[in-house]
Amino acid sequence: MKEAIMTRRVVIIGANAAGMEAASAARKKDRTAEITLITQEKTPGYSRCGLPFVIGGQIPSFKDLIVYPPAYFKMLKLNLKTETKATTIDTKGKLVTVINKNGAKESLPYDSLIIATGADAFMPSIKGREKQGILSLRNIEDGEEILEKVQNGAKSAVIMGAGLIGLETGVAFIERGLKVTLVEMLPQILPAMLDADMAKLVQEHLQEKGMDILTEKPVEEFLGDEKVTAIIAGGEKIEADLFLSAFGVRANTKLAIDAGIPLGESRAIKTNSKMETDVPDVYAVGDCAEAPNLITHKAVCAQLGTIAVRHGKVAGANAAGSYSQLPGVLGSAVTRLFDIEAGVTGLTEVVAKRAGIEVVKGAISSKTKADYYPGALPIKVKLIVEKESQRIIGAQIVGGEEVTQRINALSFAIQKNMTVRELAKADTAYAPPLNETWDPMVLAAEMILMRLR
């Protein structure tokens, strides 16, 4: 057969974290494949996770979030169709139909298709939600709109939802001088990330910095004529200049559903460990796809940038005829809010119990340097262990610094099936300006061992 006939065609719907990683991995495995990325956005290849920090002013411009400039597409010979929407997938004929902003339609044949359609901001069915002025922060255009409002004199903001985006944007608003009220339906902030005891530490810090946090206040109504001027949450009326909806995101699965590509139990696109969907030669990656949790082995759609790129790398290699597997995900995540860092890996206590796992927990409050060393900051480590196997299955850390690499260490421990007994004897590093002699991770393990006696 002639080489020209054998050129593999890889089509990727989506050109951010997961899609770009998939394209790079596909190119590494197949130097001649025709790789095409389709995105509805104007700008491809930027970091969504950085959006709140442009609003906060730490990053000077939204342009700085671009991870993959046009030169990268040229160097890797990646075709790119921006402001183009994939409208249908014909999985039998192996065709994707797309339409660009001028209304021109095109059919793109594929040998391998990677769906990286991401997730959309979720808006619950709240009375008055059709009114104008309810903002969300999902892409650069959203960010530009919010920043413009902030710079044009908005004095106050209501943030609806106490997840990572809500809190990080709330911090950004306060740094820009706005008065921020945050409303959350549940009794705690960061409900998907931390247990209530750890979330409380973060909440207290945010309140000290001036954020007004109202928990157990579901949003009941948007008030205003055409434009929202206030909300009612938990029976209370709150007025503001700016309203940010941060209720969470939902996997964007319509294209897949219409094409008969099945969803899994997490309501994201069902995939196996090669990131293949149930349809041959169709892969799904990123916020629209699921992967098994390494501890429960149940499929989850964790919607983190770290997971998106891992999905993408595996799918890209497989789509280009190579072989790669993703064993699963833990959902390790960190954030910084003003002067406090919070992190998680594995299961929280709540999630573990919901999964029917009998747990023993331990939590140690310590310092980030020797107690006597000037500038030592508080840090609290919470460990969660499965009682029967004594394996570490989760950890949360809240502290003034040095949270991320401890979360990473505990993530490795979980992935290597480390027991709490092994962690209690683990070797750690110390010097007065850098750590305590007994790292709080090790002491938390010691506490659990005592409780297991």
Nearest-angstrom CA–CA distance, 366 and 46:
38
- Name the residue nearer to other proteins (CB basis): 27 or 81: 27
Catalytic residue numbers read 49
Beta carbons within 8 Å of 70's beta carbon, 6+ residues apart: none
- Name the residue nearer to other proteins (CB basis): 60 or 280: 60
Q: What is the nearest approach in angstroms of other proteins to the Cβ of residue 32?
A: 10
Nearest-angstrom CA–CA distance, 163 and 160:
9
Task: Provide the CB-side half-sphere exposure for 116 (13 A, CA).
Answer: 38
Give the helix/strand (H/E) hosting 22. helix 17-29
Distances (CA, A) of 187 to 38, 113, 133, 202, 341: 41, 42, 27, 14, 21
**Pairing between strand 179-183 and 156-160?**
parallel
- Name the residue nearer to other proteins (CB basis): 34 or 120: 34
- Name the residue nearer to other proteins (CB basis): 70 or 327: 70
Query: Quick one: which of 57, 58, 69, 433 contacts other proteins (CB under 8 A)?
Result: 69
- Choose among 386, 330, 333: nearest CA to 361: 386
Give the helix/strand (H/E) hosting 237. strand 236-239
By CB under 8 A, residue 66 contacts other proteins: yes
- Name the residue nearer to other proteins (CB basis): 76 or 185: 76
By CB under 8 A, residue 42 contacts other proteins: no
**What ranges make up the beta strands (E) of 92-211?**
95-100, 105-109, 112-115, 119-121, 134-135, 156-160, 179-183
Q: What is the nearest approach in angstroms of other proteins to the Cβ of residue 58?
A: 17
Query: Quick one: which of 6, 57, 58, 64 contacts other proteins (CB under 8 A)?
Result: 64
Q: Three-class SS of residue 163? A: coil
Mark residues 229-268: x for contact with other proteins by CB under 8 A, - for none.
----------------------------------------
Query: Quick one: which of 7, 57, 70, 265 contacts other proteins (CB under 8 A)?
Result: 70
Mark residues 4-33: x for contact with other proteins by CB under 8 A, - for none.
--------------------x--xx--x--
Q: Which two tokens stand for residue 397?
A: 């850390």
Q: What is the nearest approach in angstroms of other proteins to the Cβ of residue 80?
A: 14
By CB under 8 A, residue 450 contacts other proteins: no
By CB under 8 A, residue 75 contacts other proteins: yes
Binding residues vs other proteins (CB under 8 A): 24, 27-28, 31, 63-64, 66, 69-72, 74-77
